[in-house]
């Protein structure tokens, strides 16, 4: 194996490609989300120009939170570009590429989603200036929860960058590392976007009925928590792929099973995450309009979300079969 | 590493299973969420019919779920039968 000790060029190659993917895809979500916030802020200022200062302040705070997803991507991209990897094995190349995929995909949903509470809080302030501080607080809580899928992605990306894979067999561990990145990254898209839908509806609802703030914030948090579960499934599959040791096998099928495990939970989390967010959006919006029936609405929301969640669970089951059974 | 025919077929079946279940889960997830959102809206407008609306929501979601179950069946067929 002496001839194959110098893996530095291939590691640099995949680190650069990974860094490009991380920042390129990572910029998509935050830019769209902040654009939505700014568009709503403009509408709000035209509706109520007298409080344009408050609206402007709220817009900037909301955009700053939405920006954090792409700042995570920037951090990972800079690490991938400039981190030295002395004496790392060839598996590091797969790990760094996986880290880039994970952070790039993972920042999309959170960036777009955080834009909704920001925008709806701005238009709420123009309608109901007395509720400004409640709206800003609720916006911050809601958009902070939206960031969790991006934070999961950053955690997995950092683990892929800094963990030592020196002793693991190259085949099929390379596929496990890329699968780990894809699983958390893709699954974060739906959860981030869905959490944003719920948070946006809660800001709109509080502006409509400021005294409903307690009920609205509670049901928003419950709905967002359920909407996060697909990204937690993604994180779980990533951890299994990162920490399980796989027996050496040069068969293509052994590698492809691990890559497919990541793809299944990753793609499978997108739909349920968005769907759970839609269900929470509907429930939050109508709790604000009809506070007495918050109990009925919460129950229907949870039942609907549970059904919507089922396909994410199927996807996780297929992933676990691919990892542990076949 | 030498790739043999049987190995290649198995590899393709695994990737197919992962993509089948992964992509197949997107539609039902979004669709069922829409159903639940509209059910919540309808209960907000007309809370007395909450029971009927929840039942209708569940029937609609069950139909929407079917494509997800097709994906699951195809994935399991690819993993264990083909």
CB contact under 8 A, B7 and A277: no
- Residue in chain B closest to A227 (alpha carbons) equals B33
Provide the mean pLDDT of chain A: 95
Whole-number Å distance between alpha carbons of A147 and A168: 33
Catalogue all structural domains in chain A, each as residue range(s) with its CATH number. 8-324 (1.20.120.610)
pLDDT digits (tens, 9 = 90+) for A201-217: 999 999 999 999 999 99
Phi-psi region of B2 (alpha: psi -120 to 50; beta: other; left: phi over 0): beta
- Let me know if residue B34 belongs to a domain: yes
Quote the pLDDT of residue A7: 86
Give the number of other Cβ atoms within 10 Å of residue B47's Cβ. 16
- Let me know if residue B44 belongs to a domain: yes
- Let me know if residue B23 belongs to a domain: no
Whole-number Å distance between alpha carbons of A247 and A1: 19
**Shortest Cα–Cα distance, B59 to chain A (Å):** 11
* Predicted ipTM > 0.90: yes
- Let me know if residue B77 belongs to a domain: yes
Quote the pLDDT of residue B82: 81
pLDDT digits (tens, 9 = 90+) for A44-73: 999 999 999 999 999 999 999 999 999 999
* The total number of structural domains that make up chain B: 1
CB contact under 8 A, B29 and A273: yes
Quote the pLDDT of residue A251: 92
Quote the pLDDT of residue B73: 97
Quote the pLDDT of residue A58: 96
* Residue B52 sits at the chain A interface (C-beta within 8 Å): no
- Residue in chain B closest to A291 (alpha carbons) equals B44
Percent above pLDDT 70 for chain A:
98
Can you tell me which residue has the tokens 């079946």? B13
* Residue A195 sits at the chain B interface (C-beta within 8 Å): no
Quote the pLDDT of residue B2: 61
Residues of A in contact with B53 (CB under 8 A): 300
Phi-psi region of A128 (alpha: psi -120 to 50; beta: other; left: phi over 0): beta
- Let me know if residue B82 belongs to a domain: yes
List A residues 208-267 in contact with B (Cβ-Cβ < 8 A): 230, 250-253, 255-257, 259-267
- pLDDT higher than 60, residue B1: no
Per DSSP, the residues of B12-58 read HHHHHHHHHHHHHTHHHHHHHHHHHHHHHHHHHH-GGGHHHHHHHHH
B57 contacts A304 by C-beta, under 8 angstroms: yes
pLDDT digits (tens, 9 = 90+) for B11-65: 999 999 999 999 999 999 999 999 999 999 999 999 999 999 999 999 999 999 9
- Let me know if residue B46 belongs to a domain: yes
Burial class (CB in 10 A: 0-12, 13-18, 19+), A170: middle
Give the number of other Cβ atoms within 10 Å of residue A141's Cβ. 17
Quote the pLDDT of residue A158: 97
State the residue range of the domain holding B81. Answer: 30-82
pLDDT < 70 regions, chain A = 1-5
- In a mutational test of the B interface, the residue from A223, A253, A321 whose CB has the highest number of chain B CBs within 10 Å is A253
A135 contacts A206 by C-beta, under 8 angstroms: yes
């Amino acid at each position: 194996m002496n001839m194959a000790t110098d893996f530095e060029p291939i590691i640099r190659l995949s680190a650069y490609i990974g860094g490009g993917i991380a920042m390129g895809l990572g910029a998509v979500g935050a830019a769209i989300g902040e654009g939505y916030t700014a568009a709503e802020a403009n509408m709000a200022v035209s509706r109520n120009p007298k409080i344009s200062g408050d609206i402007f302040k709220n817009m900037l705070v909301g955009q700053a939170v939405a920006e954090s997803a792409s700042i995570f991507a920037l951090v990972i991209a800079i690490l991938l570009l400039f981190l030295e990897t002395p004496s790392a094995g060839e598996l590091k190349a797969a790990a760094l590429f996986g880290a880039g995929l994970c952070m790039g995909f993972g920042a999309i949903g959170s960036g777009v989603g955080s834009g909704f509470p920001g925008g709806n809080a701005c238009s709420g302030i123009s309608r109901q200036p007395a509720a400004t501080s409640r709206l800003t607080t609720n916006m911050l809580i809601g958009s902070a929860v939206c960031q969790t899928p991006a934070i999961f992605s950053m955690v997995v990306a950092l683990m892929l960058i800094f963990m030592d894979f020196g002793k693991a067999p190259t085949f099929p561990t390379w596929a496990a590392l890329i699968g780990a990145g894809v699983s958390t990254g893709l699954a974060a898209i739906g959860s981030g976007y869905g959490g944003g839908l719920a948070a946006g509806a809660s800001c709109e609802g509080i502006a409509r009925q400021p005294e409903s703030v307690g009920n609205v914030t509670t049901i928003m948090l419950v709905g967002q928590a359920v909407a996060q579960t697909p990204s937690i499934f993604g994180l779980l599959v990533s951890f299994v792929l990162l920490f399980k040791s796989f027996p050496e096998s040069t068969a293509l099928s052994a590698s492809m099973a691990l890559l497919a495990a990541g793809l299944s939970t990753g793609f499978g989390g997108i739909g349920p995450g968005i769907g759970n967010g839609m269900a929470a959006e509907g429930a939050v919006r109508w709790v604000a309009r009809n506070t007495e029936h918050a109990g009925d609405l919460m129950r229907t929301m949870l039942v609907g979300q549970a059904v919507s969640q089922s396909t994410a669970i199927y996807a996780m089951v297929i992933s676990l079969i691919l990892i542990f059974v076949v | 590493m030498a790739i043999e025919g049987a190995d290649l077929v198995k590899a393709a079946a695994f990737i197919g299973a992962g993509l089948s279940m992964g992509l197949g889960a997107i539609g039902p997830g979004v669709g069922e969420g829409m159903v639940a959102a509209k059910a919540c809206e309808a209960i907000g407008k007309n809370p007395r019919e909450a029971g009927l609306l929840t039942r209708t929501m569940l029937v609609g979601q069950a139909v929407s779920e079917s494509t997800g179950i097709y994906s699951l069946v195809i994935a399991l067929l690819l993993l264990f039968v083909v």
